[in-house]
Amino acid sequence: MSPLKQAARLLLDQVQLPATARVERRKDSAGLPSYDPGAEAVIEAGVSWLARAQDRSSSHDGGVARHFSLLDGWSTSYPETTGYIIPTLLAYGHANGKAEPVERALRMADWLVAIQFAEGGFQGGMIGQTPRVPVTFNTGQILIGLAAAAHADARFLEPMRRAADWLVQTQDADGCWRKHPTPFAAPGEKTYETHVALGLFEAAKLEPDRGYLEAGLRQVDWALANQQTNGWFAKCCLDFPERPLTHTLGYALRGIIAAHDASGQARYLSAARLAADGLLEAIDEQGRLPGRLDSSWRPAADFVCLTGSSQLAECWLLLFKVTKSVAYRMAAQQANGFVRKTIAIDGPGDVRGGVKGSFPVDGEYGRWQYLNWACKFMIDANQAEIDCT
């Protein structure tokens, strides 16, 4: 953005922005806070925020609100990310002997089953957005949740099978999914759909003989054909593939790690390490990771995508468990620490424990919003950090 346009936007915002948004921007413009509340505190606060996001969704349906906005409040529920919030809450509830997160997760799963299309797929977008059509990526993310719910309760097995079967049946022969793209992103093939493969790998743990593992590996193989020699991925963004978000890079890397876990094939670990090592070049000692990166892993944005930072922190920690590379653990701790410092663990309930789309809050990704998936990935990454200590 040109300096003139930036000045004009700031002037307009000063007149139009609610006071809470102006206050948050002023805080962020002062720089990253020095206080780190620690992994345990942000996990607990994040779980509580997700509960509020479920209770305060403006569609009042048992799903989780996509976001809380400093401009206009709570959104309607978001099926895609409600899906993969389920395993986070189930894991937290079971690990801590708490019934409420488990009950909430299963209520989310019941709601998702109620809105599943007859053929097995799920819609893209938030509740109330149109067109309401089945979308590959969203179905894959919800499949992650249905598989986790099916481990807890057998009534979710059949909806899980229908979603996974639909993904297998609609996959192209080369492993890519092209038939049911999201209408809410730029058109074109997406390498980050390795995160759809992750859903199939989870379903294969319960149904090993229905071709789910094989379909997931086909997709990852297709995606790896788009990996450069330095580890960077082409076709790996919602909108600007020449400078992908760390969020979508995190999706891609997580799916490749899952392919290694599911198959035991060393080539997937090598591909994951190639990307993970490239990403190490982009993070600084304070844990700041630019929200977009170009094909040489150089900064392509001046904001931090907090979602992507948490996703990549978890990926580095998963790789640390396998490789024992201290560089991965150090980068993950730095990224987690950066995100933790942006989280309020006291104060108003609508933001307490939530994670902004960007730091600063008026950055390009999720501008002025606290995103439910940012919170989910923050919890996962901090739990992974605890598990690695």
Band (pLDDT 50/70/90 cuts) for residue 5 is low
Measure the CA–CA gap between 355 and 50, rounded to whole angstroms: 10
CB 77 within 8 A of CB 68: no
CA 12 to chain centre: 32
CATH 1.10.10.10 applies to domain 35-384: no
Closest among 379, 299, 291 to 340, alpha carbons compared: 379
* Across 208-217, average pLDDT: 98
Predicted pLDDT at 16: 84
Predicted pLDDT at 330: 98
Closest among 143, 219, 137 to 176, alpha carbons compared: 219
* Across 216-231, average pLDDT: 98
> Does the pLDDT at position 12 exceed 90?
no
CB 358 within 8 A of CB 303: yes
Measure the CA–CA gap between 243 and 237, rounded to whole angstroms: 8
Band (pLDDT 50/70/90 cuts) for residue 280 is very high
Counting beta carbons within 10 angstroms of the beta carbon of residue 203, is it exposed (0 to 12), middle (13 to 18) or buried (19 or more)?
Answer: buried
pLDDT digits (tens, 9 = 90+) for 37-61: 999 999 999 999 999 999 999 999 9
Band (pLDDT 50/70/90 cuts) for residue 357 is very high
CB 153 within 8 A of CB 106: yes
Measure the CA–CA gap between 203 and 211, rounded to whole angstroms: 10
Q: Please state, for a pLDDT cut of 70, what percent of the chain lies above it.
A: 96
Band (pLDDT 50/70/90 cuts) for residue 7 is low
Q: Which two tokens stand for residue 258?
A: 């899952």
Predicted pLDDT at 14: 63
Query: What are the residues whose beta carbons fall under 8 Å from the beta carbon of 301, sequence distance 6 or more?
Result: 243, 290, 291, 292, 363, 364
**Which pTM value belongs to this model?**
0.96
Measure the CA–CA gap between 46 and 380, rounded to whole angstroms: 10
**Tokens 């990996």 sit on residue:** 227
Q: Which two tokens stand for residue 151?
A: 């481990």
Predicted pLDDT at 347: 87
DSSP state of 134: B
Band (pLDDT 50/70/90 cuts) for residue 6 is low
For all residues of the chain together, what is the average pLDDT? 96
Angle between helix axes 306-323 and 326-341 (nearest 10 degrees) is 150
DSSP state of 69: E
> Does the pLDDT at position 200 exceed 80?
yes
Q: Which two tokens stand for residue 87?
A: 């395993």
